[in-house]
Amino acid sequence: MKTAIVTDSNSGITQALSKELGIFTIPMPFLIDGSQHLEDIDLSQRQFYEKLKDDKTQVSTSQPSAYDVGELWKKILDDYDEIVCLPMSSGLSETCHSLSHLAETEFAGKVFVVDNKRISITLKSSVYDALAMAKQGKTGKEIADWLTKTALNSSIYIMVDTLKYLKKGGRLTPAAAMIGTLLKIKPVLQIQGGKLDQYAKVRKLADAKTTMIEAMKHDFETRFSEQVKAGRMELSVAHTDNYDEAEIFKKEIEQAFGMPVEFTDPLSLSVSCHIGPGALAIACAEICH
């Protein structure tokens, strides 16, 4: 069986990298002042942040068209026997549900949509795993079953640099945002199982980084102790338009854990849209590759 791997741009996998890997990446749509743009097609990271930082511009996330995805799947199935599709977590978008319905009704037995409960660099790890298993000759169902089984074995902690975008997205009341800004609070959020929640409140970047590293160490010692012992956990760093700090954080993490950081990537633009620029994150994921 020849199995194709499909993801969306929330994995952080660009169109160029997807071609290099031999996979397919669905570009996520964004609405900018009511006009639709596709990530990495006619909307670059630089352009996105320019628009996001402009208070006069309305930027919001959207979903890929089920029709367009269906047409892509049909084209792929001209050359492949089956498809494993890894969209962003169902906890953060309805995309996974709509694509699952499409697969079940029109591509039964041919397309396996996996609710991997991941996004950004943790989803990227899953894509690399799926690709490795496909190259080993695993069937679409076998790949999907493993990715579903290990879906919750990942963790992300994110320091938010500004409360402005959480306020705009309705996750903070204006009063709470104002008080937090006056106190110079930098929230640390967590993504566990596809849900974005508050984890801690700090005031300094150094304290935020310490908080995130300690939280991840705790996960390694508890939730993921078996995977750590087996050498199946991978660490990564992510950021939103914060390249220099991400490189510094990478070195600090490698020193703290005594293991390499696999990816140092921009966070998914869908996440960035809600938390704004300047964010910094540490992530881990169970891997098979």
Point out the least confidently predicted range of 36-45, 131-140, 168-177: 168-177
Confidence of residue 112 (pLDDT cuts 50, 70, 90): very high
pLDDT score recorded for residue 127 = 97
Point out the least confidently predicted range of 196-200, 218-222, 233-237: 196-200
Confidence of residue 271 (pLDDT cuts 50, 70, 90): confident
Topology annotation, domain 3-28+64-149: Rossmann fold (3.40.50)
pLDDT at 281 over 80: yes
**Mean pLDDT value across the chain:** 91
Confidence of residue 171 (pLDDT cuts 50, 70, 90): low
Domain ranges of the chain: 3-28+64-149, 154-286
pLDDT score recorded for residue 270 = 84
Q: Which residue has the higher pLDDT, 234 or 180?
A: 234
pLDDT score recorded for residue 180 = 55
pLDDT score recorded for residue 173 = 55
Q: For 186-196, how does the pLDDT look when each residue is reduced to its tens digit (9 = 90+)?
A: 889 898 877 77
Q: Which residue has the higher pLDDT, 169 or 237?
A: 237
Kindly indicate whether the domain formed by 154-286 is annotated with CATH number 3.30.1180.10: yes
CA distance 29 to 257: 37
Say what percent of the chain tops pLDDT 70: 93
Confidence of residue 101 (pLDDT cuts 50, 70, 90): very high
Q: For 49-60, how does the pLDDT look when each residue is reduced to its tens digit (9 = 90+)?
A: 999 999 899 999
pLDDT at 182 over 70: no
Question: What is the average per-residue pLDDT within 131-159?
Answer: 95
Q: For 62-76, how does the pLDDT look when each residue is reduced to its tens digit (9 = 90+)?
A: 999 999 999 999 999
